[in-house]
Structure 1
Amino acid sequence: MLLRFRAWRRTRPFWAGALLVLSGAELLVVPLSPVTVLVSLGLGGLAALGIGLALIAAGLFLWFLPSARHYVSVNALILSVLSFAATNLGGFLLGTGLGIAGSAMGFGWTPRETPGRAPGRRPADRALAVVLPALLVTAATLSPGAAGRAAASSAVPAAAAPPAVTASRFAPRGFTLAGVGEVPTARGPLRVLVLRMRAASLSDYRLTTRDGTAGTQLALAARSLELRGDVTLYLTRFRGCLEGILCLTFSPDTLPVPPVVPPFVFMTDVRAEQALVTADVIRADGLRLRALPGV
């Protein structure tokens, strides 16, 4: 039995397939771990599920369809690189590293030539190889950029002109880029970007209304603002610098591609247009409110 397995293993890129299977399994396991700093992008981390299953399928392709190794390896490499942006930095780099190594080994593997037998490809190989692009499309569909478009709308009315918000630091916990939705206003529905999280803290919080129909505007300021519970932000625009380094702008029509969000996430120099915010608990330290002349 062992000799037969060894002979079978030597006729295909076995270790390349094993690395891809391990890579996919690692991407699937990481979101299920009890680590509390994980960032889940998209609807429930579906990107990790799609990419992980696709990498496992790619590894099985290398085992059972070695003649399609070049085609499979290129697709697996794309998925491995995509996982870095979509699934907790590629499972904290381990899943991405295993996937890239397995793809390279699979692409570079050369079969042993059998004397008197011309190399060829079975028709079934080509027919079955087309399944992998379908898996790639499925993984891309489950990635944050596509999954985010299915966000639920809010039933709470919001201001027609969203207030302008600034903060020197924004630190969410359990951050999820839920996608695009709508909030009702007196002037009709307003498209918003929906961010969900378990809690968030903002430093040097400033909010200024932009609706001058009442003749005055309100300016609200606080040294710190704490949001806890089921926190949801509805924003028409959101700009900030991840870890104080990488500055990105989010909007309902121009989501960053790919949306790279580190696991220990915080943002500096935040500027947003906040249509609505809901939370179980909102606590402000040093709250100040004053009226400004209407514009």
Structure 2
Amino acid sequence: MLLTPRRALRGFLRPRASGPPSAWRHWRRTRPFWAGALLVVAGTEIAAMPLAPLSVLLSLGLGGIAALGIGVALVAAGLFLWFLPHTHHYVGVHAVILSVLSFAVTNLGGFLAGMLLGIAGGAMGFAWTPQRPEQPEQVCAQQPPKTLAVALPLVLLAAMGAPAPGPRPPAPGAVTAARTPPTVTTTRFAPAGFTLARVADVPTAGGPRRAMVLSMRAASLADYRLRTRDGGGAELSLTADELRLGGQVTLYLTRLTGCVQGVLCLTFTPDRLPVPPVAPPFVFMTDVTAEQALVTSGTIAADGLGLGPSRPSAPRVP
């Protein structure tokens, strides 16, 4: 049977049936894969330059040591983008800074090639946007406001009803949060030990919501103020001169505003600027305002604890 030009063109333009994506393709599409690949190549190229013949290198010594350090750091940044994609904001910024710095402290940034690859990979990693899986429950979750909620009794039960210090906190699925998150303010938030952060979905009365999950050994909050904002019922207020949490503390926050070390004031959200994945023990925040979904803690102690109705807001003058 002869194929006419029209039939041949029709067969060429007809879309091919595509089967389910492979595991490799799914893994690659759920993270900034090509940005990480560029950073790995850039770091390898910069680190390999000091191993070139001496006639090719401009200088060695401190430049060679810096090239090895920056190269290893860029390779590590690429691996972070592959295996911890939620850190792409911070990894992308640091990769660009290291790539630009390599021009001055190494052999012209690997003779420009490594520097340009690192800048491109860092920019791609910073601009990467995760794809939402097409599932009914998650599609519905995008329609309501991106906030998490919990009533004051749930907060107290989650904090005081946990077992003795040491056990792992219960999964967020064990408690369903309310629609509107309570507002927490404190003049100083000081975690004890390293703080680990990630982004996860927490069930609420309005569907799953994305929240920043902060895990730490203990924490202290000065001039603690918590106010519920349910809207329909009576609003409650919890105050304490100092609140001390211990026994594997886990905070679920939808928004966090404060000044890091009392100097750099930032606003962290799960989608735009999440909290860094690891924070050293000496980091603290002042003038903190947070939307708090849930809290789990092995122990809780408070000085000057007070519980009562929130102050009604001033009526609007027409």
Task: Give, in angstroms, the shift of residue 241 of structure 1.
Answer: 0.7
| Aligned-partner Cα distance in 1 for 2:244–2:213 | 18
Partner of 2:293: 275
Q: Percent identity?
A: 46
| 1:108 Cα deviation from its structure 2 partner | 8.4
User: After TM superposition, which residue ranges in structure 1, 4 or more long, deviate above 4 angstroms?
Assistant: 51-54, 138-141, 256-263
Aligned to 2:94: 82
Partner SS, residue 216 of structure 1? coil
Alignment check: 8 A CA contact 1:208 1:217 kept: yes
Residue 194 of structure 2 corresponds to which residue in structure 1?
A: 174
The residue identity in structure 1 corresponding to 2:94 is L
Q: Deviations over 1:99-153 (max 9, x none)?
A: 936754411899xxxxxxxxxxxxxxxxxx69x9489748975x8x989x9xxx8
* TM-score, normalisation: structure 1: 0.56
Aligned pair in 2 of structure 1 residues 18, 280: CA closer, same or farther (>3 Å)?
same
Tell me the amino acid that sits aligned with residue 281 of structure 1.
Answer: T
1:195 paired with 2:214, answer: yes
- Of 244, 259, 263 in structure 2, the residue corresponding to residue 241 of structure 1 is 259
Give the distance between the partners of 1:14 and 1:266, measured in 2 at CA: 42
Is structure 2 residue 177 aligned with structure 1 residue 158? Answer: yes
Aligned to 2:159: none
- Deviation, 1:17, is 3.7
Long gaps (5+) in structure 1: 1-5, 28-46, 55-78, 86-95, 111-128
> For residue 106 of structure 1, what is the aligned residue in structure 2?
107
Q: 1: CA distance between counterparts of 2:120 and 2:78?
A: 8
Which one-letter code corresponds to 1:277 in the other structure? Answer: V
> RMSD of aligned C-alpha atoms?
4.7
Aligned-partner Cα distance in 1 for 2:294–2:101 = 42
CA distance in 1, matches of 2:80, 2:59: 18
Q: Structure 2 length normalisation: TM-score?
A: 0.52
SS of equivalent residue, structure 1 residue 161: coil
List gaps (5 residues or longer) in structure 2: 1-50, 82-90, 133-170, 314-318
Whole-Å Cα distance in 2 between the matches of residues 203 and 223 of structure 1? 6
Question: Are the aligned partners of 1:24 and 1:51 in contact in 2 as well (CA < 8 Å)?
Answer: no
- Find out whether 1:50 has 2:77 as its counterpart: yes
Partner of 1:287: 305
